[in-house]
Amino acid sequence: MRKAIINEPLILASASPRRKELLANADIPFEVMPADIDETLPCDDPAEAAEEISCRKAEFVAEKLMKEEKRDSFVILSADTVVSIDGKILGKPEDEEEAFNVLKELQGREHEVYTGVTIGIKHPGKGVRYRLFHEKTRVRLYPVSDAQIRDYIATGEPMDKAGSYAIQGSFAKYIKGIKGDYSNVVGLPIGRVFKELNQFLKK
């Protein structure tokens, strides 16, 4: 049986299969409770926007746990990932043409991936405490032709991804290099999460 790093159940406020896989691979037990929130970007700053949306997710799930499930003790983990280039945030594409335009802009260049993370902790008889942080990773792509971009979009893989690509998928062959945490680009900076969880739980 796996030994948990926490005494409380870890609630992942996300339905992302990538985040679930990262937690499972890191041997961190969890249960899933997706947050149904408005993910409209609150500002133009990518780090701030990612943190704010992750916080909205954690608060949504915390309220649900307390009011609907009457839980008095829990630990919530939520995250949101955004891609930025030239100071502009690139969200999930609404259609194939938008995905093409985003990938066309990214090809042959360096961009940034930010994941905002919120940890929410509630102990019996006390209110919820939150810790927010973000991780930033720089990613550089090789030049990619229009035909290669179209072929990639045809796989359907980019349609629910920030920046219109998945670094762990078939688009990996166009990655020239990264500076920072690889798992952050996938959707959750797992090493930082583990560190922050342990530090926060000690307080």
CATH of the domain at 113: 3.90.950.10
Annotated catalytic sites, by residue? 80
Give me the pLDDT at residue 50, please: 95
Q: Is residue 134 part of a domain?
A: yes
Residue 196 has a CB neighbour count (10 Å cut-off) of 17
Residue tagged 């043409």 (tokens): 97
| Residue pair 129/155 in contact by the 8 Å Cβ criterion | no
Q: Tell me the mean pLDDT per 10 residues along the chain, length 203.
A: 54 94 93 89 90 96 92 94 94 94 97 97 93 98 98 94 93 97 97 93 77
Q: Is residue 97 part of a domain?
A: yes
How much is the pTM?
Answer: 0.92
Which of 203, 202, 182 is CA-nearest to residue 191? 182
Give the count of domains, the chain.
1
Domain around 78: 10-201
DSSP H/E element including 49: helix 46-67
Give CA–CA dist 195/180, Å, rounded. Answer: 16
Give me the pLDDT at residue 39, please: 81
Q: Is residue 5 part of a domain?
A: no
Give me the pLDDT at residue 24, please: 94
Give me the pLDDT at residue 43, please: 85
